[in-house]
Amino acid sequence: MIVSPLDYRYGRKEVKAIFSEENRLKLMLSVESALAQAESYYNVIPENAYKDIKKVVDSNEVSLERVKEIEKKINHDVMSIVEALTEKCSDGKNYVHFGVTSNDINDSATALQLKKAINIIMSDLLKLSKTMVKLIKENENTLMVGRTHGQHASPITFGLKLSVYLSEINRHVERLNEAKNRIIAGKILGPVGTGAALGENALKIQEKTCDILGITHEIATNQIVDRDRYIEYLSIINNISVSLEKFATEIRNLQRPEINEVSEYFNDSEQVGSSSMPSKRNPIVSENIVSLSRLLRSFIIPEYESSVQWHERDLTNSAEERFTIPYASILIDDVLNKMDSVFSNLYINRNEMLKKVINDQFIMSESITIALTKNGMPRQDSHEFVRKSSMYAYENNISLRESLIKNGIYKFIGNKDLEDAMDPSKFTGNSKEICEIIIKNSEYLSKYVMGDIYD
């Protein structure tokens, strides 16, 4: 019986495979193999024991079915793996899991899962970045109304709006790239973090094991990897999800019929928008992004609480981490790919954007204030003159231009200056330059980070 929506509705198979039972077993066995190799290197176990353990692990002789069969009897998940591996060994059977505890294997395996997940999330971010660069280049000069407090403000370009979004993505790329070595950490120092059972070379064995696995390692620890690492990972994921919800919310708002400036792709030939109203074309992907983003952010709360352990460790983190890290990783990949799909297929109603810009003279009030001030009127007087003219225009249902003329604006500036001040295309400031700076930053990051992604 399938219960979790991840099994039938959400998430991509590539990421779900990382956190599958089969892959988890494979990774835990790979940690046992790397441990044996490191112990053999420092003469803690015989070389033939390591080679035997490695042979069994590499040949996939340990089955998930057998592990579960053992666990039903002994009620210990990691020891079930140890016993199943020991059964298949000959020369190595006396040295499987030598000198370590369950969480040495568990947390090192989790580090391997995180390593793979971070690679995919980083690739997702870079893919989304590339999509947004293309959109920005196409819309550097696309005029639209800026909005503050839900009301029309000064004109902007759609490229500038997207550049604000891309600048967030750029920072997320930087954060994840900078934090990954802290996040992807294992440990091989036994049940209380002393490494006593491994002897005088315990720290070297830990370093060697983790080097073989391609992960970093703890130095001062107890029984588990310190959970501040997992909190940092989930914090970065949460931060990304907030950006995605922000983008999706803006698309939903701009798709409202009374605005009608952008909209999600809708397959007119087949897609159904509503079970009751056949005419509907709803922004369902953006709404799904918002919904899943809100859910995945909740997973950090139990991780915060599980970081508080009794003494050198208890078991209160174990059950919740079977949910938090896999679910958050699967869902952030899901929403990143959905966001990329939305932007890749976004319909941009440039005519409607321009129409709103042209038809609302009030969005040029800041520009007119600046023009008056440049022509000698004190700034506060300029502001008050335009404010009163705007209120008069609202009350008398006339255009701002008519109101300004009626209130004597030509006493202060000429008709040419007024025309220029009311031209939206001349009041987008450094929008294009900003777009180009953000694009350049994004392209640099993509090149820099792609060369640094883990194998």
Catalytic member of 274, 298, 399, 425: 274
Question: What pLDDT is recorded for position 260?
Answer: 96
How far, CA to CA in Å, does 341 sit from each of 14, 248, 344, 435?
17, 11, 5, 21
- Are 320 and 306 contacting, i.e. CB atoms less than 8 angstroms apart? yes
- Determine the residue type at 200: E
- Token pair 């991509």: residue: 12
Q: DSSP readout, 85-121? A: HHHH-STTTTTTTTT--HHHHHHHHHHHHHHHHHHHH
274 is annotated as an active-site residue:
yes
The span from the CA of 373 to the CA of 245, in Å, is 40
Share of the chain above pLDDT 90, in %: 92
Dump pLDDT digits (tens) for 356-373: 999 999 999 999 999 999
Catalytic member of 59, 149, 279, 311: 149
> Could you tell me the maximum CA-CA distance found in the chain, to the nearest angstrom?
101
Q: What is the residue-averaged pLDDT of the chain?
A: 95
In the predicted model, is pLDDT for residue 453 greater than 70? no
Tell me the HSE value of 282 on the side-chain side, using a 13 A CA sphere.
12
Question: What pLDDT is recorded for position 10?
Answer: 94
Dump pLDDT digits (tens) for 180-202: 999 999 999 999 999 999 999 99
* 342, burial (CB in 10 Å: exposed 0-12, middle 13-18, buried 19+): buried
Question: What pLDDT is recorded for position 454?
Answer: 47
Q: At what angle do helices 158-183 and 228-255 cross, to 10 degrees?
A: 160
